[in-house]
Amino acid sequence: MSNCSLAIQILPQQTDQATVLNTVDKVIDYLRVNAKSIELSAFETTIEGEFDELMAILKGAIEVAGSHHHKIFTNVKISYDAEGQVLGIDEKVSKHRQ
């Protein structure tokens, strides 16, 4: 269990579809290497861990995206519990997986 769960959506702006997909792929590669727990979906990627660790990973993900396209829009959702643990990815979605 972790004290933070973070959902991130990174969208390069004003560019062609190939650049968007390439940039998103690079960010996902970065997240796979740096996050201990990761869940991909069609609109966002969720990672979980300790708050400070995830904030550093978030910063790195935005920097990776920025190195592939100069204008990036990022949506972030953060669940954080300073005194305990947040529900993990498996606890939230395992009963809905087929």
What is the spatial distance between Cα 89 and Cα 32, in angstroms, rounded to a whole number? 15
Instruction: List the alpha helices (DSSP H) in the chain.
Output: 17-34, 51-68, 89-93
| pTM score, whole prediction | 0.91
pLDDT tens digits for range 46-84? 999 999 999 999 999 999 999 999 999 999 999 999 999
Q: What is the CA radius of gyration of the chain?
A: 14
What domains can be seen in the chain, in order of their start residue? 4-96 (3.30.70.930)
